[in-house]
Amino acid sequence: MGSQRNDRGSFAVEMVFITPAVLLILALVAVGGRMASAHGEVEGAARDAARAASLSRGDARADALAAAEAVITNDSQHCVGGPKVSLDHDPVVGQPVVATVTCTVQLTGLGLPSIANRSVTATVAAPVDQYVAPR
């Protein structure tokens, strides 16, 4: 019986140490999931922006921005402030157009005060369609 009295309260002490560690791991998993989801959204936005610019008959930059904003606005749950889109050059037949999309991912509110918002960037190249004549 003496050994049972010595173990009394040990479960509560163990839980004091284990609970914060488990909560920290869960918060880090949530951060990783949010970053992975945002990266997929930004990758899709960059793909659509590059394709829109390669098929553009007018202002390629405006078409690329509209395509990226459509993807981020419709699918995004984590990007704040809208996407930032840049093209390496105006579409020229024979040269791929490269679109880069950057999005700020909101990481606040996940219970980790030291983690700030992060930027996710994706770059995609698309061939310019030689049969699409500029206006």
* pLDDT for 63 beyond 50: yes
Place 100 in a pLDDT band, splitting at 50, 70 and 90: very high
Element counts in the chain: helices (H) and strands (E): 3, 3
Place 120 in a pLDDT band, splitting at 50, 70 and 90: very high
Asked if residue 55 lies in contact with residue 132, where contact means CB atoms within 8 angstroms, the answer is: yes
End-to-end CA distance of the chain: 92
- Sign of torsion over alpha carbons 13, 17, 18, 23: positive
Q: For residue 57, what are its two tokens? A: 């008959």
Nearest to 67 by CA among 84, 46, 86: 46
* pLDDT for 49 beyond 70: yes
pTM, rounded to two decimals? 0.78
Across the range 67-91, mean pLDDT stands at: 82
Listing from the earlier edge strand, what are the strands of the sheet with 118-126? 79-87, 97-105, 118-126
- Beta bridge pairs of residue 79: 105
Asked if residue 41 lies in contact with residue 71, where contact means CB atoms within 8 angstroms, the answer is: yes
Burial of 126 (0-12, 13-18, 19+ CB in 10 A): buried
Place 1 in a pLDDT band, splitting at 50, 70 and 90: very low
Question: What is the residue whose two structure tokens read 């999931």?
Answer: 33
